[in-house]
Copies of this chain bind each other. A is one copy, B any other.
Amino acid sequence: MDYERYYLDLLEMMNSSFKKIASGKYDKKDVERLFELSKTGRYPHIFAEMAESFSMMVIKVEARDFHLKQLINELEETKLKTT
């Protein structure tokens, strides 16, 4: 097996997913590919860890977006009561 080529392919795949997600132009499949990469045991440790860290950032952003949506709704309802 050509390990150098394999590592480079993994790096490029990861870089491509990172770029799509960071730009905001991504779909479920891009995130799933990242989750798949983060499975330790299947991929070299360092790649799995990097994919896992990035996945955690995706989850952080999504959780905050969810919270923001809730707060905006709550704020609108509260404002309605004051008028």
Interface residues of A (CB under 8 A from B): 11-12, 14-15, 18-19, 21-23, 46, 49-50, 52-54, 56-58, 60-61, 64-65, 67-68, 71-72, 74-75, 78-79, 81-82
Contacts and interface: CB of A to CB of B under 8 A. Distances in A.
A52 B53 CA distance: 14
A58 to B, nearest CB: 7
Given A15-B50, A60-B61, 18 more contacts: A12-B46, A14-B50, A15-B53, A18-B54, A19-B49, A21-B53, A21-B57, A22-B54, A22-B60, A50-B50, A53-B54, A54-B54, A57-B57, A57-B58, A57-B60, A64-B65, A64-B68, A71-B75
A34 to B, nearest CB: 11
A25 B21 CA distance: 23
A82 B9 CA distance: 59
